[in-house]
Structure 1
Amino acid sequence: MSQNHETASVRLLAPRVGGDESVLTPEALRFLSGLGRKFADRVPALLARRRAVQERLDAGERFDFLPETRDVREGDWTVAPLPEDLLDRRVEITGPVDPKMIINALNSGASVFMADFEDATSPTWKNLIEGQAALRLAARRELRYDDPATGKRYALGDRLATLLVRPRGWHLPERHVELDGKPLPGGLFDFGLYFFHNARELVRRGTGPYFYLPKMESHLEARLWNDVFVFAQEALGLPIGTIKATVLIETLPAAFEMDEILHELRQHSAGLNCGRWDYIFSFIKKLRNDPACVMPDRSQVTMEQHFLRSYTQLLVKTCHRRGVHAMGGMAAQIPIKSDPEANRAALDKVRADKLREVKDGHDGTWVAHPGLVPLAREVFDAHMPAANQIERKREDVRVSAADLLRVPEGARTEAGLRHNIRVGVQYLEAWISGLGCVPLYNLMEDAATAEISRTQVWQWIRHGATLDDGQPLTVERFRAAVDGEMAALRGALGPARFDGGRFAEARALFERLSIGETFEEFLTLPAYELLISSAGERRS
């Protein structure tokens, strides 16, 4: 049975799924309609502005700090005070919005759990609606889950992490929901449903509607979110500033507008976060047509590279000057139970990463697995005894445009190429099958790392980059590598799993993204078309 009806001009074009009666209420749909009518038409102009910036970059222009906002950067202002439950954020865990993950993350001992509708969730209608229904129950501490495979029951404990939600970025549409014949922006859909159902309840329980905001490329995009927040709070009769939001600085242009982004959101800001994997993707993407900016293997683009050290330390300085948190990046490692030695080596990497962050002045950090929470907490407890270290102003940090744009050094290898192929194809296969967070080769991969994989291949082919054998990467060599890796995957996974999955579609998409004459801005856009064209997502 499918839904195909209108409520206050919002039209649903989607299959019925469990829990939708609790979130797709007439009142909630009217709220979404109000958000859409007020703000949806502003999104295309912001996306057009991104394209215009890219055209200037392709013509030889380079990023720099904006002269027209110098007064904001030089002004003596701070953001609004933070609520009590956002003062100590030393360990944050992130993950998709399925009930089991929500329960385990909230119970993990982390300070914060970010429930992710973006990079860690494949946006099937089922995932989105069941995720909203689960978060509605979690906000009321009523969420339970019985695992059908094991019979184990999961329930929320007494001490929970503070809940934050990440809606989708401005570039992603929600094609199952139309307003006046146009898809509603995915971010408005995710934000609107969660806020409408839970904001008052969260406030009643002594917390609030808190968010992470992804993929922004300018302070004008932050301005739109701020306007959305004001409208939403007024619609529900909540004081301005009830919403708090942390912005992920995960695009190269946003790194040049950190002060401006905080200023736009100063009534609602909970700081900035170093979204390191998407930042690497954005660095490649924005500078993709410059042969002088060809990157080495992903494994060599570590946080010790100058452009990443510069951006993270500038973020700490900027946030602390404005009186708000500077959050560190993701540790994507997962415990390796089958190999104690490899596990120790992985944990040593995590420890070194978190030690660098806390010594640089970060107020907290991210992990992808509950097993890493104690380690990250141990490091931050040892070096940050107070709730945060905002008092460390890092006035010693001096970062120029040239620092942010310095191309990392390192080799490009056949092994790196093949790793990109393996990760990219396997992740895409999982994503179009409905899974957005995938453990691969002892790392938790999401859309950001898959983006690096295909973007790096595109850049290497585009510029005929030589690999470690001294030979250039051509389309023919790339396709031969794909043939080899697909054969190896089929052997490793078995014919039943490989042939019964969607690997042929994933391979075709990865190849198209890697060798296309024009660059696709986000792999999730063409992948979304594959996702909603599958049987369970066919529109009515």
Structure 2
Amino acid sequence: MAVPSEKFVSQSAEIHTDHPGYADILTSEALAFLARLHRYAEPRRQSLLQARRQRQARYDAGCLPDFRVDTRAIRESEWTVAPIPAALQDRRVEITGPVERKMIINALNSGAKVFMADFEDSSAPSFANQLEGQIHLRDAVNGTLEYRSPEGKHYRVGSDPAVLVVRPRGWHLPERHVSVDGETMAGALVDFGLFVFHNARTLQARDLGPYFYLPKLEAMEEAALWDEVMALAEDELGLPCGSMKATVLIETLPAVFQMHEILHALRRRAVGLNCGRWDYIFSYLKTLRGHRDRLLPERGQVVMTVPFLKAYSELLIQTCHRRGAFAMGGMAAQIPIKGDDEANDNAMAKVRADKLREVQAGHDGTWVAHPALVPVAKEIFDRHMPSPNQLHVRREDVEANRDALIAPCGGTISRAGFDNNVEVALRYTAAWLEGLGCVPIHHLMEDAATAEIARAQLWQWLHHGSLEFPDHAPIDFAWFDHALAAHTHRLRESSLPGARRADDAAQLLATLTHADQLGDFLTLPAYAQLA
């Protein structure tokens, strides 16, 4: 697993021999391609991550995020993104999920317009998961992806699959199993590089991109680096410049103040922005972790109609449509509930209300996490959006200023809400350590973003002090420690995902919650313990 001329070293050679398909992904040519991407991007990536830390230090010291003065001309001048490919003109329903073989087949066959294959928040990035995901996607692109269940049921991709869009990991996440010149590679470049090396030419020949979702960006410079990486890959692979297209998730608070700038940095390949609502709520908590006046109530009360989230989504629509890009709605966390018709009807009613809000606001499409929700969302968008998209909806009525985008959100913290955060953070972390990145808990599909909200809220409620439950009992570490111990015992004794890693997850969650500063990402310290 080494390419001496490239000084390329992989630190997990034993994994490569476990699966006969890995060698077909980790060829010497593919590794050399990854090395070239790394050498080009790594110095800039490190500089951008340092800029994040400096920006956060200013927020911790009392500053608040705002629109940039030095990029005013970009926001105020007239320009549009490049024409959007025909395959992405209608994105009314997109389904997302991890890069697992059966999931990919079901998603491609779901009736959704787009399937976002996720190497990020709904996947636990063990090296085996990442490599097998690459194999599955290669087979899907080549039309050979099949699956036979233990019960003998046969699955294969149908004749009219959803358009494939791939989400690599964010710039902040490492891939510890791959190094170049002694430096650990960015997970983003490993995911992106292996996918385009094996599939880009095939997809481009079919006028299908390749297409990407870009996560966790905080600034236009981070978008510009992606643009340059894609240009380098196009040149290396002999693709036309601009054939790779990208939709950017606006899921960090700093990024909402740079949406015009991010689209401008990617203007030859940007096709839209997405309201990544759950990570956005987490980013609000993390960015404003030092501001006691910006505490949020329990998660169930932080819905898209609260002022700061309403301003965010409406400004995204206005920004995208002014620039000729699509404004994608976000994920409703509900999933179908079997065996309880009343509960299922209530869950589906919430999904319908959420999708109705999005289409009436002017969004061009939305996300679902389960194939059964595709027709639910599609019916709403078909009825209210007969055209392929809503680029004609300009939302000139929107005036979302800085204060609106960071407005505090009122509400309460109940014992049940606190307890639910402990349970979700624990159960998700434990399942993640077992290699699962997408976990149904109490009929909601939880991924890394929702687990991040849970543990960030716990930290904030406990460290800002003097908070009370509605019955005036204090919200304190004694209550947290008791709840964590109780849920750890229940998980350890259960057959639920994560049971074997319950104690590891509890120790990690306790350490992060008791720490003096809110950690940037749960997945960074957890990655060191991932099998």
Q: TM class by shorter-chain length?
A: over 0.9
- Comparing 478-487 and 435-444, the one that deviates more: 478-487
Whole-angstrom distance in 1 between the partners of 2:318 and 2:292: 32
Most deviating of 511-520 and 469-478: 469-478
Q: Cα RMSD between the aligned structures?
A: 1.3
Cα distance, 1:467 vs. partner? 2.1
Equivalent residue number for residue 505 of structure 2? 506
In structure 1, what is the Cα distance between the partners aligned to 2:360 and 2:143?
36
| 8 Å Cα contact 1:252/1:286 also seen in 2 | yes
User: 2:416: which partner in 1?
Assistant: 415
1:332 counterpart residue number: 333
Pairing 1:203-222 to 2, within 5 Å after superposition: 203-222=204-223
Counterparts of 1:394-409 in structure 2, within 5 Å, are 394-409=395-410
The answer on 1:106 being equivalent to 2:108 is yes
- Report the equivalent of 1:359: 360
Q: Distance in 2 between the 1:5 and 1:201 partners?
A: 26
* CA distance in structure 2 between the partners assigned to 1:438 and 1:237 by the alignment: 40
- Residue 290 of structure 2: aligned partner: 289
Q: Could you tell me how far apart the structure 2 residues matched to 1:499 and 1:442 are?
A: 17
CA deviation vs aligned residue, 1:384-414 (integer Å, no higher than 9, x gap): 1111010111111111100000011110111
Q: Which residue of 1 aligns with 2:7?
A: 9
State the Cα distance separating 1:483 from its structure 2 match: 2.0
| Equivalenced residues, count | 526
Deviation at 1:240, TM superposition (A): 1.2
Quote the Cα distance in structure 2 between the aligned partners of 1:4 and 1:277.
39
Deviations 1:470-527 (A, max 9, x none): 2332222210121233344456x26xx6996110000111111111112210000000
Q: Secondary structure at the match of 1:115?
A: strand
Please name the residue that 2:197 is paired with.
Answer: 196
CA drift of 1:292 comes to 0.7
Amino acid at match of 1:113: F
Q: Distance in 1 between matches of 2:223 and 2:470?
A: 42
Q: Which whole-Å CA distance do the structure 2 matches of 1:6 and 1:146 have between them?
A: 40
Please tell me whether the aligned partners of residues 91 and 364 of structure 2 are also in contact (alpha carbons under 8 angstroms). Answer: yes
Matches within 5 A, 1:135-174: 135-147=137-149, 149-174=150-175
CA change 1:498–1:440 in 2 (3 A) is closer
Partners of 2:399 and 2:5 in 1: CA distance? 53
* 1:355-396 per-position Cα deviation (integer Å, ceiling 9, x unaligned): 000000000000000000001000000011111010111111
Q: Which residue of 2 aligns with 1:538?
A: none
- Aligned equivalent of 1:39: 41
Residues 5 and 12 in structure 1, CA contact (< 8 A), matched pair in contact too: no
What are the superposed Cα offsets for residues 302-343 of structure 1, whole Å, 9 maximum, x if unpaired? 111000000000000000000010000001211101100000
151-160 or 366-375, which deviates more: 151-160
Q: TM-score, normalised by structure 2?
A: 0.97
Provide structure 1 residue ranges, at least 5 long, that are not aligned to the other structure. Answer: 535-540
Contact 2:431/2:497 (<8 A) preserved: no
Q: Any residues of structure 2 matched to 1:94-493 within 5 Å, and which?
A: 94-147=96-149, 149-464=150-465, 465-490=467-492, 493=494
- Match of 2:249, SS state, is strand
In structure 1, what is the Cα distance between the partners aligned to 2:527 and 2:509? 14
Q: Do the aligned residues in 1 keep the contact of 2:491 with 2:499 (CA within 8 Å)?
A: no
One of 77, 80, 86 as aligned partner of 1:78: 80
| CA spacing shift, 1:262–1:459, aligned 2, 3 Å | same
- Given that 1:490 and 1:498 are in contact with CA atoms closer than 8 Å, whether structure 2 keeps it comes out as no
Distance 1:97 1:9 in 2: 30
- Aligned AA for 2:367? W
Q: Following the alignment from structure 2 to structure 1, what is the Cα–Cα distance between the partners of residues 4 and 290?
A: 45
Alignment match, 1:530: 529
Q: Distance in 1 between matches of 2:105 and 2:6?
A: 34
Q: Secondary structure at the match of 1:530?
A: coil
- Alpha-carbon distance between aligned partners in 2 of 1:360 and 1:96, rounded to the nearest angstrom: 29
TM-aligned CA deviation for residue 5 of structure 1: 6.5
Q: Distance in 2 between matches of 1:136 and 1:217?
A: 30
Give CA deviations for 1:285-312 in whole Å, capped at 9, x if unaligned: 0101111111100010011100000000
Cα separation, 2, equivalents of 1:477 and 1:143: 49
Question: What is the Cα deviation at residue 205 of structure 1?
Answer: 2.2
Cα pair 2:428 2:498 within 8 Å, conserved: no
SS of the counterpart of 1:406? coil
Match of 1:336, SS state, is coil
Contact 1:306 1:406 in 2 (8 A): yes
| Residues in 2 aligned to 1:407 and 1:205: alpha-carbon distance in whole angstroms | 48
Provide the rounded CA distance (Å) in 1 between the counterparts of 2:382 and 2:8: 48
Q: Deviations over 1:249-293 (max 9, x none)?
A: 000000000000000000010110000000000000010111111
The answer on whether the counterparts of 1:4 and 1:13 sit within 8 Å (CA) in structure 2 is: no
Quick check: 1:7–1:26 contact (8 Å CA) kept in 2?
Answer: no
Q: 2:60 maps to what in 1?
A: 58
Moved more, 464-473 or 162-171: 464-473
User: Where does the alignment leave 5 or more consecutive residues of structure 2 unmatched?
Assistant: none
The CA distance in 1 between the partners of 2:156 and 2:335, in whole Å, is: 23
What SS class does the counterpart of residue 501 from structure 1 fall into?
A: helix
The separation in 1 between residues aligned to 2:381 and 2:415, in whole angstroms, is 38
Contact 2:179–2:185 (8 Å) recurs in 1: yes
SS of corresponding position for 2:71: helix
CA distance in 2, matches of 1:499, 1:292: 36
Deviates more, 1:16-25 or 1:268-277: 16-25
- Give the 3-state SS of the residue equivalent to 1:175 in structure 2: strand
* CA distance in 2 between partners of 1:84 and 1:375 (Å): 25
286-295 or 69-78: bigger deviation: 286-295
Q: Which moved more, 1:481-490 or 1:264-273?
A: 481-490
CA separation in 1, counterparts of 2:487 and 2:527?
A: 24
Task: Judge conservation of contact 1:278–1:448 (CA < 8 Å) in 2.
Answer: yes
Distance 1:293 1:75 in 2: 33
Q: Please tell me whether the aligned partners of residues 81 and 323 of structure 2 are also in contact (alpha carbons under 8 angstroms).
A: yes
Mark the CA change 1:7 to 1:417 in structure 2 (over 3 Å): closer, same or farther.
Answer: farther
Asked if structure 2 preserves the Cα contact closer than 8 Å seen for 1:331 and 1:367, the reply is: yes
TM value normalised by structure 1: 0.95
Task: Give the deviation of 1:227 after TM superposition.
Answer: 0.7
Give, in angstroms, the shift of residue 186 of structure 1.
0.4
> Hey, what's the Cα distance between the residues in 2 that align with 1:5 and 1:72?
43
